[in-house]
Each structure stands twice: as C-alpha cells, then as structure tokens.
Amino acid sequence: MNTESPSRPAIVDRSQFEADVAALRVREKAHVREGDAIAAARRRLPMVEVDASSELIGPDGPTTLLDAFEGRSQLLAYYFMWHTGHPAPEQCEGCTWVTTQVAELSYLHSRDITYAVFAQGPYPETARYREFMGWQVPWYSALPSMDTLLVGRSVGMMHIVCYLRTDDRVFETYWTTRRGVEAMDYSYALMDLTVYGRQEPWEDSPAGWPQHWPVDGSNTRIDGRPIPQWSRLAAGRSDDLSG
C-alpha cells in the first residue's frame, strides 16, 4: 500500500522503508565525511595574534583575555548580543537559545578547552540575566575591548571565536557567526531528524508540511519572550535586570 496525505509521508511496507533509509544513509555518510574534511581544513588555517591584555569584566572586576583561559591552552568564547537598558523579554532570543544548551563543560575541559560567554553589554546587567536564566558557564563582559576583540566584524552580532594560548601570547584561530552558532545547539539538530524538521518556511519540505515558525526572532520566542525564560519565571525567579 502506498498512500499519501498532504501532511504525512507515504505509507510503505518495512522493506521499502529500509531501502529508502539505506539510500539516504549514503548521502548522510558523505555529508559526515565532508564535515570531517572541512574540520581538517579548519585545523590548518593560519592564526592572528590578539592583545592578550584585552580587558574583560568578570565577577571580581577587571581581568584580561589571557586570564579567561583559566590556565588552559584553548578558549571558545561566545559573544552574547546585548540590548543595554532593555528588560529581559527584549534580550536576544538567539543568544538565549544557544547559551541555554551549553551546560556540561567537562568534555571541553578534558581537551584543554575553556568555554566562556563574552557578553556585549555591561557586566552587572548581563550577569543578572545569567543569574535569572540559571546558567553556570563562565561569564564576562567584553564591552571594554569590543573594538579590539571583534575587529573587522559586526559588533552586536552573535559570534563564536576560538583562541589559542602560547605562554602569555594569545592567537585567534577561527570565528563564526549567524548559522555557525548552531554548533552550540542540539534542539535544531534533533528537529532535523524528525519528519517535519524545524517547521520553518525556508526549509525544502513537501507541500502541506507545517511551517509556522518564521526566522524573524519568533522562531525562538513564545508570547513575547525567549522560550526558556518562561520556565525560569514559573520557578519564581526574578527577571529584573536593574539595581
């Protein structure tokens, strides 16, 4: 039997299903191998020196980019967009989305990699947002050194920047922005395995598939807030960023 519905895949028997999965698996394996080849090329990129003394603000006051390594040789820094003076519901839904999903750092640490958030706003305000969200990752304000650390890039955009430390010198080895930050995400990766995918209009899906999540910020918001904020409010946490 092979019937189709405008909102469901065709129904087939097990042998046909397994044959179609096997055919797709060939493409999936090629995709993985190409990803491995791109990662190999990334490891062969040159690097550029950055000022190791670039100032950051942390929980104990002013510190440096070098100190943010916490003694490790590598640093992954996520540059969190920030709207200074705006309330929690108006803060970046995309940055909230990816930062919420980075919780366990021990695997990074086992490879001599430190992960930290570099907020693009004042430390007191951004740190209160971190507390409201319940994040435990290392947190700094990069505001004093934004022009140095993000030279040539759009300040105010989400970025991942990778650094390497050699003694007291720091080098930038790679950076990404926009969809590159999906490296931090697992929700979309899991959605991509499902029949309806991310349910966003840009996706190439059959006619009739649900696609009600436009990529305009509302895809990571519900009822006017970044989606993860609601569970924090339900738990009784204050989202007041002032004071």
Per the CB < 8 A criterion, the answer to whether 200 and 215 are in contact is yes
CA–CA distances in Å: residue 188 to residues 84, 150, 192, 220, 236: 28, 27, 6, 11, 28
Fold observed for domain 50-184+220-234: Glutaredoxin (3.40.30)
pLDDT tens series, the chain, 243 aa: 344 455 889 899 999 999 999 999 999 999 999 999 999 999 999 999 999 999 999 999 999 999 999 999 999 999 999 999 999 999 999 999 999 999 999 999 999 999 999 999 999 999 999 999 999 999 999 999 999 999 988 777 889 999 999 999 999 999 998 888 888 899 999 999 999 999 999 999 998 899 999 888 888 999 999 999 999 999 999 999 986
DSSP symbol at 90? G
Residue with tokens 């004042």: 122
CA 64 from chain centre, in angstroms, equals: 23
CB atoms within 10 A of CB 74: 16
Per the CB < 8 A criterion, the answer to whether 117 and 158 are in contact is no
